[in-house]
Structure formats: C-alpha cells, structure tokens
Structure 1
Amino acid sequence: MILSKPNSLALAVEQKISPLFIAILVDSIVYFKVCVSGDAEIANENHFLENLQAILLFASGMAFLQTTFYVQKGQRLLPCFGALLCLSLILREFDLPYAVVLPDDGYGRNILLGSLWLLLGVLLIRDYKHYLALAVHMLPTRSGVFLVAGGVLVGVASLFDGPVFKSYQLYEELSEMNGYYLLLVSSLSLFFDLPHNRKSPSTIKFMR
C-alpha cells in the first residue's frame, strides 16, 4: 500500500522521533537512580551501564551481519561497515578475554582490526563512485540519521573522558549508551532501508 505524501512524511517523522523518547526515558531513570537515589555504582566501570553498552553493541553487530545476507550484492559493504564498527568499539571499550581470541590485547587487536578495515577500504575504493552515491542517498534515511547521531554522541562522550570535562563519568556513560542505542536503531533500520535480494534489480527503490 502506498501512503499519501502527508501520511508518509508524518510516518517518517514519527519513526525518527519515537526512539528518542525511549532514550530520554531510560536516561531519566538512570539519572534518578544515580543523582537522587544515590546508586552511583551503576555508572562505574564494568557495571550496569557498561554492560548495557556491550549488549547494545553486540546486538547492533548481529543486526548488521544479518542484513548482509538479505540485501543486494552492491549494498553489502554498508552493513559490513556497521558490523566492523561495532566489533572495533567492543574491542576498544570493554575488557574481554583477549588471550582467548587474540594474541594479546595490544598488537593482536590492532592487527586484526587494521587488516579488516584495510580489506573493507580496498573493496570500497574499487567501486568508490557507487558507494559514495549510495552513502549520500542513505544519509537522510532513518538508518543514516541515527548512525550520524550515534556517532556524535559517542564523540561527545569522549569529551567527558578527557581534559575538557573531568569527573563526569555518569554523563560519559550516558552519552555512550545513547550513542550505542542509536547505532542499534540504525542497524535495525538498515535492513528495511536497503533493497533485498527478492526484488529484481529493475524494481529496486530505496526506502526513506
């Protein structure tokens, strides 16, 4: 069923705003727990907020990987980029048993991630015009908007962990949690924003 233009616009706005209300609600609950109830432990290292961040990143990576099996061949590098981004954030942010999966927590991780990013970069450069046009086309979609917004929030979180702001661990963890949550929304939306294999190439239209 094709919606009329006003209904389509209203639906698009609602789809982009509704996840923000969920983030605001969760932020309010966490802020109340820490600043009003005095349960500051949930914002500490390796506690509730960091564990939630790890879950969000893992779920996002799995969603991106699932999308690679359903979309057209010429669009698969986009979900691969998302999955590799999630893997990079997990290995960079969280204390994992590196000795089990990597030679060590420094060089092994860097070699693994560097090799994967190099491979992805080579594949992108081989058809850079196509992927540049695709990225520009996807930017206004739900997945593109939330990916950019999530990246901004993760960047803001780094300010609270550096010389700009100090002793603001709660805000750092909240910014990262919100960023990873929007990344999850982006990963789930990408499945619907990209064309699937069941459609013939002549009938493909990008969904916004």
Structure 2
Amino acid sequence: MNHSLYMRYFIFSLMMLLTIIFAVQVIVFDQAYLYGENELMEDIQLGILLAVAIVFFRLIGEKSWSIVEHSAPSLMLLTNLGAALSISFIIREMSCKDTEVDWLIFFVDGQGYKLLMLLIWVPLLLKAFKFKHEYISIVKKSILSSTALFLMAAVVCLAFSALFDKEIIVVEYFRFYEEIAEINGYCFMLLASMSFRKDMTLAVCRDAKAALESMSSTQESSIVATESRA
C-alpha cells in the first residue's frame, strides 16, 4: 500500500473522528461555543486550508511537472489557481475584528476583501483563458479522476454549508452543521490537492504507464533521500 493511500485513509478517518467528536460535544453536551467565531472548529478549518495551500505551493515549481514539459506552463498555472483558491478560503474564514489593526480588518473583514479577491483572481483568470482549450481537454480526461471526485464532494459539502450560512435551512444547531460541513469540505479539498499532480499528469501525458512509473521512481527516490538525511 503506497504512501498516498495511507494518507487518504488517515484523512477520511480524521473527518469521521472530528464529525463524531464535535457532534457529541455540541449536540449531547451543548458546547455551542465550539462553532463560534474564532473558536476551535474555525481554527481547524484554517489548519486544513493551510495544509491545502502548502500542498499546492509545493507543486508550483517546474520540477513537479518535468514529466510533462509540454504542458508544464498550463499545469503550473492550474496549480497557482489551486493555491489561490485555498488562500481565498483562508482569508474568508479569518476574522480580525478584535485585532484593532485597521488595514487588516479592511482587507479581511471589510470592503477591501472584494478588492483583494479581484487582485488575486483577475490576473490568474486572464492567464488561464489563454489555456482554455487545454483545460477543457484536461476536464474531459480527468472528470472521473480522484481529484475531480474529491472536488465534487468538496463542492457538495460547501454548498450544503451555504444553505445553513444563508439561513435557507434553519434547524436547531444549524450553525454547527454549517461549520462541520465546511470542515469536511476542506478535507475533501485537501484530498484533491494530494492527488492533483498525479491526475493532472495522467490527463496530459500521452503514455500513462510511463508517467506512473516515472512518478513512482521519483517518489521512491525522495523517500530514500529523506531517510538518508535522517
């Protein structure tokens, strides 16, 4: 069993464990403060999103896409989009109202948030438009890949969370359901980021078998190098 599969099992187990623990604490023991602003559930969300951002940032360099040099520019940009998405969610989940730092409050909790999102996304989307045909091809080829399925699951969880956030569904502990859905959604984003390199490489690679062998050998070399340093 390879390392990535172990990590998937770990994250799925973590999702179940967090859901059960928080459900018991909130619903059974009435610990409603856990899903309050800047409380434990939001802290966990930020931690998961930070992990997603780190995974994507580690993939931005050309070395990550050396197997598919012909598609490296478009895949690096796609990686940047993934990193930008996680950063956007991090800023969205942050709350700096209690810091009394005016410029930080402006960009995180005020009108500056929209301006910041425009500054992040407009340049990236304009660049992405240049690769639109390649991205359409990638979507067609990877629609049933692990990355795509995990992203779909993340969208479902976040959409479910939005129903509670906008108070379209109002039940007892609806704020808790909003936060736990977000935790699970961000975990699915983390799973998607972990399979992103493999699935995107296979989507653009002409020889899937050779690509898998190359990635496997690269991973083994990395593990050996890490062990030798230790």
Sort the TM-score into its range (normalised by shorter chain): 0.7 to 0.9
The answer to whether residue 22 in structure 2 is matched with residue 30 in structure 1 is yes
Structure number with the bigger relative contact order (C-alpha 8 A, sep ≥ 6) is: 1
C-alpha distance in 2 between matches for 1:68 and 1:184: 16
Secondary structure, counterpart of 2:30 in structure 1: coil
Q: CA shift at 1:182, angstroms?
A: 0.8
Bigger shift: residues 133-142 or 77-86: 133-142
Which one has a larger percent helix, Structure 1 or Structure 2? Answer: 2
Bigger shift: residues 96-105 or 110-119: 96-105
C-alpha distance in 2 between matches for 1:13 and 1:154: 24
C-alpha distance in 1 between matches for 2:7 and 2:194: 12
User: What do the CA deviations read for 1:100-146 (whole angstroms, capped 9, x no partner)?
Assistant: 56864434332221122111111121121011111232332112211
Residue 93 (structure 1) aligns with: 93
Secondary structure, counterpart of 1:76 in structure 2: helix
C-alpha distance in 1 between matches for 2:7 and 2:137: 24
Mind listing any 5+ residue stretches in structure 2 that lack a counterpart?
Answer: 66-71, 213-230
The answer to whether residue 156 in structure 2 is matched with residue 152 in structure 1 is yes
> Residue type of the partner of 1:76?
M
Residue 128 (structure 1) aligns with: 132
State the TM-score, normalizing by the size of structure 1: 0.78
Identity of paired residues, percent?
A: 24
State the TM-score, normalizing by the size of structure 2: 0.72
Mind listing any 5+ residue stretches in structure 1 that lack a counterpart?
Answer: 1-11
Task: Give the superposed CA RMSD.
Answer: 3.0
Q: CA shift at 1:158, angstroms?
A: 0.9
Q: CA shift at 1:92, angstroms?
A: 2.0
Residue 182 (structure 2) aligns with: 176
Q: CA shift at 1:27, angstroms?
A: 0.7
Q: CA shift at 1:21, angstroms?
A: 4.4
Secondary structure, counterpart of 1:194 in structure 2: helix
> Residue type of the partner of 1:55?
G
C-alpha distance in 2 between matches for 1:28 and 1:143: 25
The answer to whether residue 58 in structure 2 is matched with residue 66 in structure 1 is yes
Q: CA shift at 1:18, angstroms?
A: 7.2
Distance change >3 Å, CA 86–CA 15, structure 1 → 2 = closer
C-alpha distance in 1 between matches for 2:162 and 2:181: 9
Residue 43 (structure 1) aligns with: 35
Secondary structure, counterpart of 2:168 in structure 1: coil
